[in-house]
Amino acid sequence: MTPLLILLSVLTNQLYEARTYTEAKKAYVVIEEIEGIIERRKGELPTKLPEELLPVAWCESGLKHYKSNGDITKSPTKDFGLLQINRAWIDNAQKMGLDIFEKKDNIKFGIYLYEQNGLSDWRHSKHCWKKLTQK
């Protein structure tokens, strides 16, 4: 295992153990940077979650696209992944060539929703993320 993958594993564990948004954000931001390095080495463009959506992702999924067992994070209302994209959007995402069950595509479609509708698609968690953005 390469040093980057070891570091990625350690940081992922820290993310899963995080109890606060601040702890989780620190781990997530570094994880995102390492994933970006790995993607660039493969010749791919990295996908980065915009700063405005970090508090939303914390409130929706704890900044976790996957659960610790490897399954995608899913809510009882059939919202999936890091940004908890509702299953009602699957067809729209597929028409754009995106699979919301994949982390990069979940982020890309979340950015699309944010650009179209602002934060209204995450209004049910507003009580949580609003507090994090008022600092």
Residue ranges of the domains in the chain? 1-46, 50-135
Cα–Cα distances (Å) from 113 to 1, 11, 16, 25, 43, in that order, read 37, 28, 26, 22, 27
Q: Tens digits of per-residue pLDDT, 25-75?
A: 999 999 999 999 989 999 988 889 999 999 999 999 999 999 999 999 999
Q: Tens digits of per-residue pLDDT, 76-110?
A: 999 999 999 999 999 999 999 999 999 999 999 99
pLDDT of 52: 93
Let me know if domain 50-135 sits in CATH 1.10.3470: no
A 10 A CB-CB count for 128 gives 15
Q: What is the pTM of this model?
A: 0.89
- Distance between CA atoms of 72 and 92, rounded to whole angstroms? 20
pLDDT of 135: 59
> If 0-12 CB within 10 Å is exposed, 13-18 middle and 19+ buried, where does residue 80 land?
buried
